[in-house]
Amino acid sequence: MLPHTRETDMRSKLSTGLALLLALSPSLAFAQKEQREEDFLKGKPAIGDTIADLTVYSPDGKEVKTSSLRGHHTVLVFGCLT
């Protein structure tokens, strides 16, 4: 066993603090995720809202401007479809 010194006190406090931080990390991350989801839901567009003029690409790689879709019923899907 190591003799009781300032260095062992510091190591003990540091390891205790690190263990506490690691134990609390998942709950902090979960709280941040919930807050981001709440913020997203507050600002999400409603069905029928006009979207900004963007350039998107069709599945075959053709460029499409969202302004050319105005007046048509359109569903935009973001992400991977494979």
pLDDT tens across 27-65, in order? 767 777 888 888 777 777 777 788 788 888 888 889 989
Phi, psi of 56 (to 5 degrees): -125, 170
d(CA 18, CA 39): 31
Averaged pLDDT, 15-27:
77
61: left (phi over 0), alpha (psi -120 to 50) or beta: left
d(CA 28, CA 36): 12
pTM of this prediction? 0.35
Note whether residue 79 is domain-resident. Answer: no
Domain span including residue 58 = 6-69
Note whether residue 32 is domain-resident. Answer: yes
Give the number of domains in the chain. Answer: 1
Note whether residue 77 is domain-resident. Answer: no
Note whether residue 75 is domain-resident. Answer: no
Note whether residue 76 is domain-resident. Answer: no
Instruction: Report the percent of the chain where pLDDT is more than 90.
Output: 4
